[in-house]
Each structure stands twice: as structure tokens, then as C-alpha cells.
Structure 1
Amino acid sequence: MSPLLDFHLQQTRRQFFGHTGLRAGSIALASMLGRDLAGAAASPGSSSAAGQVHPPLPGLPHFAPRAKRLIYLHMNGAPSQLDLWDHKPGLQAYFDKDLPESVRNGQRITTMTSGQARLPVAPSMFKFQQYGQSGMWASELLKHTSKVVDDIALVRSVHTTAINHDPACTFVMTGNEVPGKASIGSWLAYGLGSESNDLPSFVVFTPTFPAASQAQALFTRMWSSGFLPSKHTGVALRGQGDPVLFVKNPHGVDSTDRRTMLNALNKLNEINHARIGDPEIQTRISNYEMAFRMQTSVPELTDLSKESQATLDMYGPDVQRPGSFTHSALLARRLIERGTRVVQILHRGWDQHNNLPKLLRGQIEDTDQATAALIMDLKQRGLLQDTLVVWGGEFGRTVYSQGTLTKDNYGRDHHPRNFCMWMAGGGVKGGTVYGETDDFSYNIAKDPVHINDLNATILHLMGIDHSRFSFKFQGLDQRLTGVEEHHVVKNLLA
């Protein structure tokens, strides 16, 4: 597309009326210069000319990547760091005592507990012990993940500004609480493309959750391309029925007929694109072509008959149940093997305001074995060294109980001031624990990590300098990490 068309399509309504008649000369000059630039971009030596359906942007990656692929495991609803990763044995002495004001220090709490007469401290009822050569502390609930802690870099000091789920999930996935921004998966698909011509560069799973869970809704903005071209939006594979709707040919239509129809439709769209210049027309063409390729690639992807019994057993009994977290985890490995750049699994049900011990146990039973199996499977196949796996939620949980408190029953409210996330694989220093919290897991005591520091680190591992990776929209150079200053957490790097 020429700079003139870029200008028209990306400016706001106010900019259009404010600039009309004032900058015609500069726009015309940009258009004339753009003809040469467009010719250079389409030269035979470019990635597009080489036949790659999802080529990287020119100049990307900025430097040699340590990870080539990303699998992002998002535990939607916010897992309790106190019951899984942030061991606080001293809290037993504070059972049912009020959270000291010197710890809370006037910090805001949600309306769900602001009406409580007390904020009673609720120590975790689960036992912790050290695992692996690294001696990383982990909950007894993590029977399987505890076996791979030496491949994990645990960050105990992640923090965010959002205290409610919707803005917090938007923040963790897009780097901003405001809807309309591009998700991290879309940024990577846009910048780095994909090695596969037959599968999307960014795929999303939203597995079913245990019936007893209190589930927060998932919003498509968590895998949306936002202001980026819409072809970089994550493609959600369904757990029931056809993995992708409307990919199969209708009854009575064979592949030859579909190919003829697409050829004719593409010609019409190309004519329309030449006349209007709307980039979404090109997106429409590429989506039709990808759907045609997926008629073959998706059935092959979801056919587990060639997986060994040992692999299926490693993932667990739900591996053959489409729509489960376990099935999604195995498909994630199969996708990245086939060249998909980003796979995102969003698992609901982690919002435990009451009856946390029972509900959390159910969530762990649904995900723990498959999570550990994914890491072990990648490692056995030599894929973990250049595949980055990320695990976490949108914020943490409070040390004080919401509602009923007994030794074996309590709930926890939202807590954005600190929570735990971990990374494993490509370029990550396994067995590392970074960041510390106070004795109540309420405030960060050492080495805070903002969500966008973590995003900057993910981009760095994928070979991208977050400060140089931007997209012009509404007059701003939009970045995943925003306009504030954020840093790569170098202590996490191998």
C-alpha cells in the first residue's frame, strides 16, 4: 500500500477535517515517493516473493532469537500465588488475625470485601516443599509441575494496576487496560509471521472447565489484532464439532469446485483492492486461501492416531477428549511442530472468592499433568530449547479471606500488587526464582516486574527489541509495552 492510502485509512475523523486542504502537497509527495518504496518492497528477493504465506516484517527479528515459538498458558480468573508458588510458612501464626494496617497501608480493596468488618489472614492449608536440584518451593497440589521446576523461571513479583478481571485480562494480553489494542499473539504473528503455509500463525484454545468452577468470561480482545491488520487475529479452534466453523465444503461441493470459486472471488477482490486500497480486502483474500488449506491441515493436526501410547499416557486420561485442557496442550505441541508461531490456551475457572481449597484442587487436577507433560514432551523432541512456554493469570489473590474462614475453607479476593508467573524453554534460565514479596504476600519486597516488563522479556526472547517494535495508529507509535519505560528482566535469561 502507498503512504497516501496509509494516511487516509489510519487517520481519525478529526484529523481528516483538520488537515483537508492544508497538507495536500506533502501527501502528494509521499504518494510519489511511495511508488518507488512499494516497488522495492515487492522485489523478487523479498519474503513474500519466496512464497511464504506469513512472512516476517522486513528487518525482523532484530537479533538472533532464543525462542522461535510461544505457547502461552493463561489461567483466567487469577490463580492464588499463596496456595501454589509463594510459600509463607510464618502465616500460620496469624490465622484469623486481622491483616496489619502497616501491611495494607491504606491500599484499595474491591467492593466484594470492602464491606467486611474484618480482613482475617488465611494461611494456605496446603503443604509446600522444595523440588528439583534448584530447591524451588511449590505446593503439594503441583504434583506434576513440581517435577519440571528445574526448567522453570518463576517470577514471584509480577504486578499490574487493574483490580477487576476484564481490564486485568486485557492488560496482561495487550499491555494496556483500554480495549482495542493488539494482543501479544497478534503482535508476534504480525512481526515474525509463521513457518507454516497451511495453518494460521496464531491459534487459540479456550478449553472447557470443571463444572464446579466459578468461571469468568473470555473476551475475544484477548487474542484480537486490535489496530493491526485483522489477519493477525488469533484463530480459535473449537473443542466440539468442527475445529473451525465453515472450513469444510458444503454438501455437493468438492475441492475442485471450491478452488474455481476462490480463484474467481480472488480476482474480484483484487480488482476491488486496486480501486479502493483497503488492506482488509487483502486480509479477506488471505483468509479464504488459508481456509482452503486448512481443509487438509486441520484434520491431520487433530488426528492423534500416530502419537505413541507413551506420549498419550504422559498427558493424561483427558488427552482424547476434544475441548479439554489436556487435548489442547497436545495440539499446542503439534501446532508448533508444524510451524505455527503462537499458541494460546486460556483456561477458565480460577476466580475463587469462596471454597478455594476445593475449587483450586479441581483446577490443578484439570491442568497440572498436561502442563508438565507439555514441557517434558517439548524437551524430549528437542523443541523446548527454542519454544517459550509462559504460565500465569491476570493478577493474584489476597492473603485475607473473603467470607467464611476455617482451617480448611476460605476464599481470596483480587490482588493486583503481586502474583506469580513462570516461563520455561527458549532462552530461559531454568530453576530460577526471581522477586520476593513480604511475609504476607501482599507487597513486593524485592525486584518488582511489571506486566510490560514481562512482555518486553518475551519479545526479547523472540528476537525483538520492544522499544523498536511499533505500529502507527491514530498518530501514535503503538507498542505492546506502551509508551512508558520498561525493561527486559535479564536475570531470567540463560
Structure 2
Amino acid sequence: MLLQSAIARRDFLYAGAGAAIGLGFPPPRSRAAPAVRAPGNGKSKSVILVNLTGGLSHIDSLDMKPDAPTEIRGEFKPAATSIPGTQICEHLPLLAARMRHWALVRSMSHGENGHLPGSHRLMTGATMPNQRGTDLDNVLSRRDWPCYAAGLDYIRPRHDGIPNGVTLPHSLIEGPLTWPGQHAGMLGATHDPMLVTQDPNSPTFRMDAFALPVGTTADQVEQRHTLLERLESGGAGDPTFRDHQRHAFSLLASGRVAGAFRLDRETVRVRDRYGRNQFGQSLLLARRLVAAGVPIVQANMGIVQTWDTHTDNWGKLKTRLLPWLDQAIAALIDDLEGEGLLGETFVAVIGEFGRTPKVSTLPGEKLPGRDHWAAVYSGLFAGGGVVGGRVIGKSDRVGAHPVTMSYTPFDLGATIYRALGVDPDSEIRDAQNRPSRVSTGQPMDILFQNR
């Protein structure tokens, strides 16, 4: 009974840290031994991961095979780009004109054709744990590997009110299942990225996490902050609890991040350039967040399986997906360059895998599509020192397998950490204090080499 009482009192105090200023936070978890900060060997201050959830068909977009048989090459025609001799899909004209910024990698590859393990690899740079048990029926698993924002938050925590990561415009959830790899996993909820749960294209979009509670003024918040500091001036109390309090106050004090969510401050012309749809406004918000100092933004381009084109592959790509993506990433690159942020922002546009070379029609369906294919697929990379205007890697004549050196999601993970100046060999520890390397991949140095 005494133990239960002590635990209840501790949890109440943790909740009170936020309640004291009108906010609610989850109780912080006990912190493992801190990892050693890596040397500053990256050029980027921020990373934008544009997640093509469901898997973009590489053969119908970035690695077309016009000379392949009909059942492979599909319905679209290739078009010239600003890279001499390089073609991409005719429905990506804005990207084609801006290829000088992009390194197109056509030899991404791994061995998982399932959405869950493939997505986990993309969002964490690690293999999904085999023993998830009944966690597939739960909201999320704390056995998963941490996403990049969580890994960064563990290795390089900050206390200035700016989150280390933001995921938008929603989490990847299908029914009772939450896609693995979106959270801090084994590092605990304290390191979860901030989650946006609204469509930035909605006229009612707003982010309330940074707003003062109704009836509370900035002066009142500061008075409460001062009072708490005085009460703890003797050094008594749980250090983790005090960190939680400081985080709560700094969150409210961070006007930069709060202002980034005010999309209504952008002109109509700017918002129209990105596209008045969820894709476009999500990347506009991503640009505003990195400008405000957020290190990692993951933009999920669609719901859980938007790019999962088993049926009506060409109709979906032609009428919505490719035009929306084309417009949004063109505006993003233009604005990052125009604002002087491109050199310090690493951008990756990629899904968990590609699509099968051979076209097929599912039973009961009339319109054909392509199935999952991880053996080879394509990704786009720009900014943060990436040498653009190049094609790296090559697939075979039907887009089924790489014929040059291949790169994995693990390598992408190591590249993301390295871009931010984090050594991929940095140590993280789970709740049982067991050590692991934050990444097991090899950084894709070729992206940054002029050859």
C-alpha cells in the first residue's frame, strides 16, 4: 500500500508539472545513460523526409522502361529532364525542370515486400523486431526501433521549446493498427516526435499545443514559472520532473514554432504554388517548420497506403498523385533555395519500396496495377550538401533488380543521422539499459561527392 501510494503521488506530481501552467503531458520515463554526442560532421540543420507511403511505382515515375514489353512499361511516356540524357515520367514536368537540385538514386533495394516491415525500415533505418506478439493489435509498440526524430532527441536533447521532430499531417493508422516505426519505440514516449493530427489544407487548421489556455496570460505563466523555480531552488526533487517542467514552459515560450503553424500568414499565391491539397500544404508546413529550427520533419504524403496502386495504377498516378507531388516538391525546393535554406536542409523523397515490373489485375477488379516490390526502387535526394543533377545507380532492363551498387533503408538512416552531425555509431539504450548503435547502415556518401 505504501508503494502504491508513493507511485500515485509521483505520477500526480508529473501531471502537475503541466497542470501548473495549464498543459497536460505524459509522465516522463526514467532516462537511460546519455549517449555521447557525435562530432559535427554534417552540413544540415534539418531533414525533411517526404514519405510516399504505400510505395511509389518507380517504373511509372523515376525509372521508366520505354523499351520493355507492354506488360512492364505501362501507359506513361518518358520526358526529358534538365539532366542531359535522363528521362522521367511525363507527369512530373516541374521536377524534370529542377533536376539540377536532385540526385536520383535508381538502385535502392531491400528484402521486405510488406508495408509494415518496409515502413519500419524507412522511418527508422532498422529492421522491425520479429517478436511484436500482440502488439500488432495495440496502438503502438515500445519494442520498435526509434524513428529518426526520437533517436536525435535521445542523443541530442534540447530544452528551448523547439521539438526535435514533427510528423505531419497525421500518423499512419489503419483501423486498430498503428504503423511501426513512427514513434520512439524502445526509447520511451518521452522521445516521441510531435504529431500533427489535422489536414493543413483545411481552413480550420490550427495547432493548439502552443496556445495558452483560455483565461491564462503570458504574465501568469511567467509568475507560475518563477514560483516553481523558487520552490525548487534548493535542488530537491526528481531531476527528470524538473526537466519536464522546463520543457512545458519552454514549449509555451517558443513563439517561432507556434508561428510556423500559422499557415494563414502565407499569401494566397504561395499557398497556391504548393497546391491546395494535403500534399502541398503539408510540404509548405514542413518548410515553415525547418525555417523555425525543427531538425526533422516527416511528411506523410497520403494516408497509410495512398501509393499502394494495386488497382487503377495509372489513373491514380495521372489524375492526383504525381501532379500533386510534382507541384509540392517543386515549390518546396524553390522556396528552400530562395530563403537560403537548401544548403542546410537534407530532403529525401522516397517510399518503403517500389512496384512490381509486371502489371497484374487483382481478382474481381477491372483496372490493372502493380504489386509490392522492394528488390529495386528509386528515391530523390536534395539539399544539405547533396550534389544534384545526377543519376546514381541503375536497374536492369525491366526495373526488377539493381545492376550497380545498391543502397538500403539502413543506409538512408545512417545518411540522415550523418547529415545532422550525428555519428551513426552513437549509442542508445532501451528501458532495460541495453546498449545499441542508433544505426547499422553505411552513410550514402556518394550523394555528397561530385563524381
TM over 0.5: yes
2:400 is the counterpart of 1:442: yes
Q: 1:325 aligns with which of 269, 274, 279?
A: 279
Aligned-partner Cα distance in 1 for 2:340–2:210: 32
Stretch deviating more after TM superposition (156-165 or 419-428):
156-165
Checking the alignment, whether the CA contact within 8 Å between 1:432 and 1:492 is kept in structure 2 is no
2:39 is the counterpart of 1:81: no
What is the alpha-carbon root mean square deviation over aligned residues?
3.3
Show the counterpart of 1:10: none
Aligned-partner Cα distance in 2 for 1:453–1:298: 30
Aligned-partner Cα distance in 2 for 1:66–1:132: 26
Report the 3-state secondary structure (helix = DSSP H, G, I; strand = E; otherwise coil) of the residue aligned with 2:55.
coil
Structure 1 residues 151 and 189 mapped into 2: Cα distance closer, same or farther (>3 Å)?
farther
Aligned-partner Cα distance in 2 for 1:122–1:391: 24
Show the counterpart of 1:372: 330
Aligned-partner Cα distance in 1 for 2:175–2:43: 34
Report the 3-state secondary structure (helix = DSSP H, G, I; strand = E; otherwise coil) of the residue aligned with 1:150.
helix
Stretch deviating more after TM superposition (430-439 or 260-269):
260-269
Deviation at 1:345, TM superposition (A): 0.4
* Structure 1, unaligned runs of 5 or more: 1-56, 96-120, 210-214, 319-323
Deviation at 1:156, TM superposition (A): 1.2
Aligned-partner Cα distance in 2 for 1:146–1:208: 30
Report the 3-state secondary structure (helix = DSSP H, G, I; strand = E; otherwise coil) of the residue aligned with 1:442.
coil
Deviation at 1:222, TM superposition (A): 3.5
Aligned-partner Cα distance in 1 for 2:113–2:296: 27
Report the 3-state secondary structure (helix = DSSP H, G, I; strand = E; otherwise coil) of the residue aligned with 2:74.
coil
Query: Which structure's CA Rg is the greater one?
Result: 1
> Counterparts in 2 of 1:56-455, with a 5 A limit?
60-91=37-68, 94-95=69-70, 121-174=71-124, 175-178=126-129, 179-193=143-157, 197-206=160-169, 219=178, 221-228=180-187, 230-239=189-198, 243-245=206-208, 247-261=210-224, 279=240, 281-282=241-242, 284-294=244-254, 296-297=255-256, 299-304=258-263, 307=266, 311-318=270-277, 324-348=278-302, 349-361=306-318, 362-403=320-361, 409-455=367-413
Specify which structure has the bigger relative contact order, considering alpha-carbon pairs within 8 angstroms and separated by 6 or more residues. 2
Aligned-partner Cα distance in 2 for 1:304–1:248: 15
Aligned-partner Cα distance in 2 for 1:258–1:220: 37
TM-superposition CA deviations, 1:441-469 (whole Å, max 9, x none) = 112211111211222222223223312x1
Q: TM-score, normalised by structure 2?
A: 0.76
Aligned-partner Cα distance in 1 for 2:283–2:326: 11
Paired AA for residue 293 in structure 2: G
Aligned-partner Cα distance in 1 for 2:157–2:424: 16
Report the 3-state secondary structure (helix = DSSP H, G, I; strand = E; otherwise coil) of the residue aligned with 1:466.
coil
Checking the alignment, whether the CA contact within 8 Å between 2:411 and 2:442 is kept in structure 1 is yes
Show the counterpart of 1:23: none
Aligned-partner Cα distance in 1 for 2:117–2:233: 39
Deviation at 1:299, TM superposition (A): 4.8
Deviation at 1:287, TM superposition (A): 4.0
TM-superposition CA deviations, 1:187-239 (whole Å, max 9, x none) = 23433456x93432211112699xxxxx8998375431223364432111233
Checking the alignment, whether the CA contact within 8 Å between 1:136 and 1:149 is kept in structure 2 is no
Aligned-partner Cα distance in 2 for 1:192–1:147: 38
Report the 3-state secondary structure (helix = DSSP H, G, I; strand = E; otherwise coil) of the residue aligned with 1:334.
helix
Aligned-partner Cα distance in 2 for 1:222–1:309: 35
Stretch deviating more after TM superposition (422-431 or 471-480):
471-480
Show the counterpart of 2:445: 490
Aligned-partner Cα distance in 2 for 1:325–1:254: 36
Show the counterpart of 1:472: 429
Deviation at 1:378, TM superposition (A): 0.6
Report the 3-state secondary structure (helix = DSSP H, G, I; strand = E; otherwise coil) of the residue aligned with 2:54.
coil
Checking the alignment, whether the CA contact within 8 Å between 1:387 and 1:426 is kept in structure 2 is yes
Aligned-partner Cα distance in 1 for 2:310–2:144: 29
Query: How high is the sequence identity, in percent, across the aligned residues?
Result: 26
Report the 3-state secondary structure (helix = DSSP H, G, I; strand = E; otherwise coil) of the residue aligned with 1:90.
coil
Q: TM-score, normalised by structure 1?
A: 0.70
Checking the alignment, whether the CA contact within 8 Å between 1:132 and 1:149 is kept in structure 2 is yes
Q: How many residues align?
A: 391
Aligned-partner Cα distance in 1 for 2:232–2:195: 25
Aligned-partner Cα distance in 1 for 2:176–2:157: 29
Report the 3-state secondary structure (helix = DSSP H, G, I; strand = E; otherwise coil) of the residue aligned with 1:71.
strand
Aligned-partner Cα distance in 1 for 2:352–2:374: 8
Paired AA for residue 446 in structure 1: T
Deviation at 1:363, TM superposition (A): 1.4
Aligned-partner Cα distance in 2 for 1:182–1:420: 24
Structure 1 residues 270 and 71 mapped into 2: Cα distance closer, same or farther (>3 Å)?
farther
Structure 1 residues 188 and 208 mapped into 2: Cα distance closer, same or farther (>3 Å)?
closer
TM-superposition CA deviations, 1:320-376 (whole Å, max 9, x none) = xxxx22122112112111211111101221111111111122112322201111011
Checking the alignment, whether the CA contact within 8 Å between 2:114 and 2:372 is kept in structure 1 is yes
Aligned-partner Cα distance in 1 for 2:49–2:167: 9
Deviation at 1:391, TM superposition (A): 0.6
Checking the alignment, whether the CA contact within 8 Å between 1:199 and 1:293 is kept in structure 2 is no
Checking the alignment, whether the CA contact within 8 Å between 1:61 and 1:192 is kept in structure 2 is no
Structure 1 residues 123 and 268 mapped into 2: Cα distance closer, same or farther (>3 Å)?
farther
Aligned-partner Cα distance in 2 for 1:71–1:466: 18
Checking the alignment, whether the CA contact within 8 Å between 2:415 and 2:443 is kept in structure 1 is yes
